[in-house]
Amino acid sequence: MTRDQSGTVPVQAGQVAPPFELPAIVDGGGQVTVSIPGDLASGPMLLVFYQDDGMPICTSELKAFAQEFELLQGAGIQVVGMNTNGLGSHARFHERDHYPFPLVSDFHGDAVKAYGLWDADEGKSRRAVVIVGQDGLVKYVQPHFNPGNVNAIVEVFSALGLA
């Protein structure tokens, strides 16, 4: 199957997750590399796509998963935030809010587009959640995630087998 070249048609459950290898910032300012499929050896990955560092709704989106991080980590699920902001922006965002997971910089938007989560009007990622299984397949996609909708959060945790 050919992927949408505009980057605006979300990946679907059952598809092979688009590969990427990108830099990320962890709390404390350290830099790491996050990759699919490489990091899947450690367990499934919850990709939390968000628009901008520091924006109120994006902060709420990441905090929804940060407050449940111990539960997610205990279940062997890796959590990663991702957008097109640079590493410096991610470092300042971490310094302010101390997320327990890495913030990936997809500066050119290649991974965001490959996952079909590109907002062409804004020129950046949409708020979305994608679960990638250890087998490298997309297990779940919520292409328009709203952190203010409790049902949306419950749906994600249900898809992870935690609700």
Averaged pLDDT for residues 78-82:
97
45-76 pLDDT tens trace? 999 999 999 999 999 999 999 999 999 999 99
The CATH code belonging to domain 20-159 is 3.40.30.10
3-state helix, strand, coil in the chain (%, to 5): 30, 25, 45
pTM for this predicted structure: 0.94
102-156 pLDDT tens trace? 999 999 999 999 999 999 899 999 999 999 999 999 999 999 999 999 999 999 9
Domain boundaries, the chain: 20-159
Answer yes or no: is pLDDT of 4 > 60: no
What's residue 2's pLDDT?
45
How many DSSP H helices and E strands does the chain contain? 5, 9
- 89-100 in b/e form (b: 16+ CB < 10 A) is bbbebbeeeebe
Cα 111 to the chain's mean position, in Å?
Answer: 10
Answer yes or no: is pLDDT of 5 > 80: no
